[in-house]
A and B are shown apart, each in its own frame.
Chain A
Amino acid sequence: MKRIEDYIGTAIYTTVLLFAGLFLVMPMIVAVVLSFDARSFLGAFPPTEFSLRWYREFLSDDYLHRGLYTSLIVSTIATLVSTVLGTFAAIAIDRGRFKGRATLEAMFLSPLIIPTVVTGFAVLIFTASLGIMDGLTRLILGHILITFPYILRTVLAVLSGVPKRYTEAALSLGAKPWLATIEVTLPLARSGIIAGAIFAFVMSFDEVAVSLFLSDPFTYTLPVALLTQMRASLNLTIAAISVIFLVVSVLLILALDKLAGVETLTGRGVYGR
């Protein structure tokens, strides 16, 4: 038998959750609705007329196109490089038996803790001292730095659910260590690697601070372009792009869930017993 206090408690709990949810979702709903606003200025909510003019604006804006193009190149290359490096770093840290593993892991994960402004500035100074002046190279280097920890972390999480006995079994059957890694460890960590790559791509694509430091007048990422344009004149192209971002992100997350499953991201291996 439920008591009246239980009902009151449940009601309060539900209400709080509902408001918290609304608070999180509301801004996005406003942005989505505004992206279809037909007015040429940023007017009161809700819009009185609807059109696709901001989407058309985005499609015809060369400045933004250039940003999108750079972003796609930077994020794709950075993700690929980080995925390869991060996966092997994770395997070394998880499977290896050497001193300083914990230190190495902390070092690799440090970009997660260091403020991105610091990272951006540091990479700028560092590349300059190496004589790298090319904006694209600089951006790619910076983005490898910020995406690497995401790969490392997801692959480490999935590896912790892959028993080391599989590697031992492969070795006992005559496989050399690197073949055991390629034929046994990597396939078993596959879901984590893909999840990490998608995660890294999303983080890179939407990164602002590091990109701001590393962009030059001709090489800039889409978020940097948006920020610059918004400061010059606030219009609703940014809302249209936000919606595109949102749709792509949701699709990627759905793909992630289908490929990897939620348990991978919570650290339990798909194949763990």
Chain B
Amino acid sequence: MDANRLLEIQDASKSFGSTKVLDEVSFSVAQGEIIALLGPSGCGKTTTLRAIAGFEPLDYGRVVIAGQDMTLRRPYERPIGLVFQDYALFPHMTVGQNVGFGMRHRGIPRREIPERTASVLARVQLDGLAHRKPSELSGGQQQRVALARAMATEPEVMLLDEPLSNLDASLRLQLRIELRQVLTAAGSTAIIVTHDQEEAMGLADRIVLMKAGRIVQIDAPADLYARPRSRFAAEFIGEATWFEGILRPKSSGMALETGAGLIPIEGRSDLSPGAAFGFCIRPERISVLLAEDAPLFEGADTRLAGEVTYVERLGGDVRIWVRMVDGASAQVSAKNTSVILPEPGAKVWLAFRAADGVLLPPVDTKERVR
């Protein structure tokens, strides 16, 4: 078995009536890797998870775990652990019985179960709560019981369906860090379904971004954020500022001629002049310079003139909207430090390094991503 392909999904396809909920979805997960399936509702991420668990039979395609074809196996024959969005803890059993349930059914000797239950509960910091009923626990504790129950049988693959979405915002952040630590400490291979990009970024080694039953991009969180390969990816993750234009040849290399000004494009010999592109850059990569400071600023190869239209103070962050010379609106974000912020009406320069942005065609292609 190849450790880089502990779990493989090959061409998974499924239709409900005439709607393709999964359209040849393929990806593989390495041993110990945490993958997030991210996308808007209806993108097929939950169906993918349920197909891996065996609850959603595929029209065609395969699910392979640890070198063994699981496609036709029933859910209870698959080496998986599933954490449900609402935990689905058995209400008539104690925490200990819930955690022991999987071990009993997966053939772990009875005398080992109490000890292993205690050690799994300790791993999620629930020592001593084995005799409680799930209804006597807080939401965060229930979430941990669900995690412990799924992990107790040491499955090859952990599947988590929106594991944190039922928690308060403050608790969610804390449990996100804990979840990541527990999964990493156990060396678990995990797939986490989420619609929350921050959750995906914080938890996953790699993100599988999905849209309308297809995979749009598979990348490490930082790469997905910095180098989106489609407009959908750029818009879905984080915020994006766009400058639309046409590629023009320049004395050295090329430049994107936009209504706001020229953006130099280096090292893209694969693109031919004359084509329309959008230049996408993250708002925090842009500096706002007051007109008189502009000549002093180093470290940027692009300067575009504009006028501040609105300044939004969001606690720790500030968002500044700037109208470019062609009337297009650009968004810039900065930390709310002691720096004096420009007022609406101020003439400013937007300065950035063109290498921090990406060029994307006007319309997303539908190429298969694996």
Contact = CB atoms under 8 A, between A and B. Distances in A.
Interface of A: 163, 165-166, 168-177, 179-180, 183-184, 187-188, 271, 273
A241 to B, nearest CB: 40
Contacts of A187: 92
B91 A171 contact: no
B82 interface: yes
B132 to A, nearest CB: 16
A169 B80 CA distance: 11
Nearest 5 Cβ contacts at the A-B interface = A173-B102, A174-B105, A172-B82, A174-B106, A165-B88
Nearest to A163: B88
Contacts of B84: 165, 168-169
Interface residues of B, number: 24
B310 interface: no
A174 B153 CA distance: 9
Contact of B149 (A166, A173, A175, A180): A173
A174 B92 contact: no
Contact of B91 (A176, A179, A271): A271
Interface of B: 53-55, 74-76, 80-82, 84, 86, 88-92, 101-102, 105-107, 149-150, 153
A173 B88 contact: no
A169 B97 CA distance: 14
A77 to B, nearest CB: 29
A271 B86 CA distance: 14
Contacts of A183: 101
B92 A170 contact: no
A163 B88 CA distance: 8
A184 B97 CA distance: 12
Nearest to A270: B91
A175 B101 contact: yes
Contacts of A175: 76, 101, 105
Contacts of B82: 168-169, 172-173
Contacts of A177: 76
A179 B105 contact: yes
A239 to B, nearest CB: 45
A166 B88 contact: yes
B274 to A, nearest CB: 55
Given A169-B82, A169-B84, A179-B105, A174 B90 contact: no
Contacts of A166: 88, 90
Given A174-B105, A176-B76, A179-B105, A169 B88 contact: yes
Contacts of A179: 105
Among B53, B91, B107: residue with most chain A CB under 10 A = B91
Contacts of A184: 90
7 contacts: A171-B55, A171-B74, A171-B76, A173-B81, A173-B106, A174-B105, A271-B91
A227 B157 CA distance: 68
Given A166-B88, A187-B92, 9 more contacts: A165-B86, A165-B88, A171-B76, A172-B80, A173-B76, A173-B102, A173-B149, A174-B105, A183-B101
B53 A170 contact: no
A177 B76 CA distance: 8
Nearest to A173: B102
A177 B74 CA distance: 10
Contacts of B149: 173
Contacts of A170: 90, 101, 105
A172 B76 contact: yes
Given A165-B84, A168-B75, A188-B92, A173 B101 contact: yes
Nearest to B74: A171
